[in-house]
Amino acid sequence: MVSGEAKSKASEKEISNGENFTLHVHKKDRTLVTPAGSTKKELYYLSNLDQNIAVTVQTIYCFKSEEKGNEQVFETLRESLSKVLVDFYPLAGRITFKEGKLIVDCNGEGAVFVEAKADCEMDRIGDIAKPDPSMLGILVYNIPDAKNILEIPPLVAQVTKFKCGGFVLGLAMNHCMFDGIGAMEFVNSWAETAKGKTPSIKPFMDRTVLIPRNPLSVDFVHHEFTDLDDLSNTSKNLQDETLLYQSFHFNQERLNHIKTLAMKDGALEKCTTFEALTAFVWRARSDALGYDMNQQTKLLFAVNGRSRLEPPLPKGYFGNGILLTNSLCNVGELLSNPLSYTVKLVQKAIKTVTNDYIRSAIDYFEITRKRPSLASTLVITTWSRLDFHSTDFGWGEPVQSGPVTLPQKEVILFLSNGKEKKSVNVLLGLPQFAMERFKDLMEI
């Protein structure tokens, strides 16, 4: 057991009928869950695709079964976590630095596990698609006084029981350990183990398949690392001002309407939902933030490189198989041109991501050790294709699941609307003045 304080935390939330509701959660001392069997003790290699996204991602899963209470949930999740950590052993280690790069010390110290109890029924936390970070943050354990990611274990789990028999699993996982696909495969393997099943996907652990080339060769311009002059002072506004978080729902009808707007001038042969929505949101956010028309703005978004690499990454690859691709555009051009113009920029950025481009980006980081610059930048992360909603630890699929907050202020998340794969929730945070303008631009 690791020392820690057992105490109640509280968050106040105003619910729809005007009533102020305070969520009280009593957390026990944190414990460490170690792998149930012997594991390798090694320094575990993280590829250059892992190095640039070392942020903690917090998610919650809400479970409520009509047939089964939550009496055994602490024991079930703790014991199954111990078992699944045998295969996913780096998650029981600690992140450290070696020669200017992140690496995992697989010391078997253990994942952090916290038992907690809430003094209310689970439905009082409301719809998590409309995020309230101060409320939902209580359902995820934060390491006290951690100054940086090296002081935060790569996997932290909190299980909170509610009086109704439901429970919430709150996870804090470092993105350098895996991308969304890898995280989903880990959580689903844990869930299968909790039900006494053998995980359906075994992790492929060797990240050296993405080792830099010898000799190194940077064959492309990598604008994702380019520092832009912040003529509009937007970065300071995002850091200094309190952000309002809001989720915007795009059903099939609204998504089709945006695609129609993009296609109507005949400049595009075809257009996907992702391309149209990304272009629409990039323009709207740039407008809402009041950028100087001469400001250059950058769009960054993740492209799954698993099948684009030669050879493709193996099934079950444990790590990041995504690459941040980019597009640069002058704000005046972005806003004065039709939506099809922006869609073309997005399409070009996607088309850029080939095996050669990914290998060039890996080599670029090896030479420069640069991180992507986020000045005057929008980062879009897509979770809408991830199947987190099917995770079942033995209490059925989640009633709801999603992020606690955004990992960085420049990020917008595209989320699926529950099991409804054809709808997208767009989650972002903006200063109040910008959010009001953004809301108006969403009325189409």
As annotated, the active-site residues are 175, 392
Answer whether 383's CB lies under 8 Å from 415's CB.
yes
To which H or E segment does residue 244 belong? strand 243-250
- The span from the CA of 156 to the CA of 1, in Å, is 14
Question: What is residue 296's DSSP assignment?
Answer: E
- Residue 109 to residues 1, 82, 325: CA-CA distances in angstroms? 11, 12, 36
The beta strands (E) that lie in 305-387 are given as 322-330, 377-382
- How many residues are present in the chain? 444
**Which of 118, 4, 142, 145 has its CA nearest to residue 62?**
118
Cis previous bond, 215, omega within 30: yes
11 beta partners: 23
DSSP for 67-136, please give it. Answer: S--STTHHHHHHHHHHHHTTTTGGGGSEEEEETTEEEEE-----EEEEEEEESS-GGGG--TTS--HHHH
